Amino acid sequence: MAVFRPFLKWAGGKRQLLPVLVGHVLRLGTFRAYHEPFVGGGALFFELRNLGLVADGARLSDVNGRLIEAYQGVADQVEPVIALLREHASRHSRDHYYAVRGANPASLAERAARLIYLNRTCFNGLYRENRQGGFNVPMGRYTNPTICDEPGLRTASDALRVARLSAGSFVGVLDQARAGDLVYFDPPYVPLSRTASFTAYAREGFSMADQERLAEVFGVLADRGVHVMLSNSRTDAVLSMYARFRIDVVQAARSVNSRADRRGCVDEVVVTSF
């Protein structure tokens, strides 16, 4: 059987933490609908689909509207997206990259293909927008990037059949999640230090006030009987915001930092309400 996996490389992708997160979900056992309000590359969603655990539908959302358009394109129009990506692959060059980067196509399939093409060929595969909402990452130096992974896109489209997609802030989950559902929050992490911060995922960064609002939303959902899980960095602020919940510390290597001397092992936490 085809293996479901993310069709985008996303900063903060959860590949290393995945076994730990899956362990918590298995410990929980059954749940109703699955919600991922900071979906990014969706690593946990695709893995739970592989395990047959998303039986009752999923709601995936992110504040990055262009990211959600890419999901919508892959979900609903995968063949046109594939055809457009084949064309990008055949025309791939420095000039083509910067022309696509500067373009703002009208159709959903073109917009999805644009984001996937840039994601596959840009520097470090980090989708980052400037304050005007422009994509400003230079071209990466890949000799032979896989621009159009046809089988991968078709299986991702299949995986997304059970998902409802929407763009918006994480607080929207308060209107969606019911008792017995599972919510996984993977926010931009609380920075370990000012220089280690990497929170420019979207037009606005994610501030400490956002982190506090998120902890509040976590508590409201938990009190409602929703099963809630969150990953974040192991900082004093995080430990105190979630003090009333179960906190497991996990060592994980992170490579988002551009300064090699700051890479390496940092502790992360997984907070669960169950």
Ligand X SMILES: C[S@@+](CC[C@H](N)C(=O)[O-])C[C@H]1O[C@@H](n2cnc3c(N)ncnc32)[C@H](O)[C@@H]1O
Q: By the criterion CB under 6 A, which residues form the site for ligand X? A: 10, 12-14, 37-38, 40-43, 62-64, 169-170, 186-188, 201-202, 206, 210
Three-state DSSP class for residue 112? helix
* Element spanning 135, H or E: none
Query: Please, what is the minimum distance in Å from the beta carbon of residue 29 to ligand X?
Result: 22
Strand order in the sheet with 246-254: 163-167, 58-62, 34-36, 182-185, 227-233, 264-272, 246-254
Distance of CA 181 to the CA centre of its chain: 19
Nearer to ligand X, 62 or 69 (CB): 62
Query: Please, what is the minimum distance in Å from the beta carbon of residue 192 to ligand X?
Result: 15
Nearer to ligand X, 91 or 262 (CB): 262
Nearer to ligand X, 71 or 206 (CB): 206
Query: Please, what is the minimum distance in Å from the beta carbon of residue 32 to ligand X?
Result: 21
Nearer to ligand X, 109 or 173 (CB): 173
Q: Round to the nearest angstrom and report the end-to-end CA distance of the chain.
A: 32
Nearer to ligand X, 40 or 92 (CB): 40
For 127-148, b/e burial (b = at least 16 CB within 10 A) is bbbeeeeebebebeeeeebebb
The answer for 168, left when phi > 0, alpha when psi is -120 to 50, beta otherwise, is left
Query: Please, what is the minimum distance in Å from the beta carbon of residue 103 to ligand X?
Result: 21
Nearer to ligand X, 25 or 92 (CB): 25
Distance of CA 65 to the CA centre of its chain: 12
Please give the C-alpha separations between residue 129 and each of 98, 135, 199, 211, 273, in angstroms, as whole numbers.
15, 5, 11, 21, 33
Query: Please, what is the minimum distance in Å from the beta carbon of residue 9 to ligand X?
Result: 8
Nearer to ligand X, 92 or 125 (CB): 125
Cα 240 to Cα 40: distance, rounded to the nearest angstrom = 26
Query: Please, what is the minimum distance in Å from the beta carbon of residue 95 to ligand X?
Result: 29
Count of positions (residues) in the chain: 274
* Element spanning 269, H or E: strand 264-272
Query: Please, what is the minimum distance in Å from the beta carbon of residue 96 to ligand X?
Result: 26
